[in-house]
C-alpha cells in the first residue's frame, strides 16, 4: 500500500534553501512567474487588519506548504514552467486583493504589474520550457546531478522566461502543449507570427486594465492609503 513511484527520493534538501528557491530564484521563483502576487504581498498588511484570523490561516498554510516542498530533494519540480508545487496556493494568495487600496499610485502600479504578468504567461504559453533545460545540460557528463540541477535555477543564463522571450522575438516558437504531442507521433506544429499576436494582446490587455483601474473605483474595493 505504501509503495509509490518515488522510491529512493527523499526530503533531503535544506528547507530554507528550498523555500528561498521557490519564492525568488530566477528559474523557479513564484514572484517571477506570477508577478500579480507582488500585489498580494504588498496589500497583505491591509488584509490582515480586516481579516486577522483568515490572514493567520493563510500564513500558516503558506509556511507549511513551502516548507514541505522546500525540503523535497527536487523542490524545483523538474523540467516544467515555474514552481508547479505552489499552484494550489495561488488562489489563496489572491484574497488580499479584496482590500486593495484605491489610491491612484496603487492602481498605476497594479496596471504595470498585471501587464507584466500577462506578458510572462504569454511567454509560457507559446514557448517550450524544455529548451532552457536542454541548454543548461548540453554537454554535461551527468545531467541528473542534483546539485547542478538545483543551481541552474539561480543562473540568469538559463532563465526560462528570458530564453522564452528570445524565442518569441524570432517568431519561431513551440508551445509546450504541442511539444508534448510528439509522443502521439503527430508532427510538430511550429507557430509563426507570435510576436505580433503577443503585441496586440498585450496592448489590448494594458488598455483594458488601465481603463478599469483608473476609471472604475469599484474594481478594487479598499481604503485610501
Q: Does residue 43 contact residue 96 with C-beta atoms inside 8 Å?
A: yes
- Four-point Cα dihedral 122, 127, 131, 132, nearest 10: -10
How many Cα neighbours within 13 Å face the side chain of 165? 12
The C-alpha cell at 20 is 528561498
Q: Does residue 30 contact residue 37 with C-beta atoms inside 8 Å?
A: yes
Measured distance CA(160)–CA(190) in Å, rounded: 18
Give the C-alpha distances (Å, rounded to integers) separating 15 from 18, 63, 74.
Answer: 5, 11, 11
Q: What is the pTM of this model?
A: 0.78
Measured distance CA(213)–CA(110) in Å, rounded: 8
Give the residues across from 173 on adjacent strands.
191
Average pLDDT over residues 177-185: 59
Task: Please report the pLDDT score of residue 225 as a whole number.
Answer: 46
pLDDT tens digit sequence for 56-88? 999 999 999 999 999 998 899 988 899 999 999
Measured distance CA(144)–CA(166) in Å, rounded: 26
Higher-confidence residue: 180 or 102? 102
Measured distance CA(161)–CA(189) in Å, rounded: 21
* pLDDT band of 15, cuts 50, 70, 90: very high
Rg (CA), the chain: 20
pLDDT tens digit sequence for 191-224? 545 556 665 676 677 677 667 666 654 444 544 4
Query: Is residue 95 over pLDDT 80?
Result: yes
Could you tell me the residue ranges of all domains in the chain? Answer: 15-215
Amino acid at each position: 500500500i505504501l509503495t509509490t513511484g518515488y522510491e529512493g527520493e527523499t526530503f533531503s534538501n535544506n528547507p530554507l534553501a528550498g523555500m528561498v528557491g521557490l519564492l525568488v530564484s530566477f528559474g523557479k521563483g513564484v514572484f517571477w512567474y506570477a508577478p500579480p502576487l507582488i500585489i498580494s504581498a504588498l496589500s497583505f498588511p491591509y488584509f490582515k487588519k480586516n481579516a486577522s484570523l483568515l490572514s493567520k490561516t493563510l500564513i500558516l498554510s503558506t509556511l507549511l506548504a513551502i516548507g514541505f516542498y522546500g525540503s523535497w530533494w527536487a523542490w524545483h519540480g523538474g523540467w516544467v514552467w515555474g514552481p508547479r508545487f505552489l499552484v494550489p496556493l495561488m488562489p489563496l494568495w489572491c484574497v488580499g486583493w479584496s482590500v486593495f487600496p484605491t489610491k491612484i499610485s496603487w492602481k498605476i502600479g497594479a496596471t504595470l504589474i498585471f501587464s507584466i504578468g500577462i506578458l510572462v504567461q504569454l511567454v509560457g504559453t507559446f514557448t517550450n520550457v524544455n529548451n532552457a533545460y536542454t541548454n543548461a545540460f548540453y554537454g554535461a557528463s551527468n545531467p541528473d546531478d542534483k546539485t547542478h540541477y538545483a543551481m541552474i535555477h539561480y543562473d540568469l543564463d538559463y532563465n526560462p522566461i528570458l530564453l522564452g522571450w528570445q524565442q518569441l522575438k524570432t517568431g519561431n516558437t513551440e508551445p509546450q502543449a504541442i511539444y508534448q504531442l510528439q509522443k502521439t507521433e503527430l508532427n510538430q506544429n511550429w507557430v509563426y507570427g507570435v510576436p505580433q499576436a503577443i503585441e496586440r494582446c498585450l496592448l489590448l490587455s494594458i488598455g483594458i486594465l488601465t481603463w478599469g483601474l483608473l476609471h472604475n473605483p469599484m474594481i478594487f474595493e479598499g481604503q485610501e492609503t
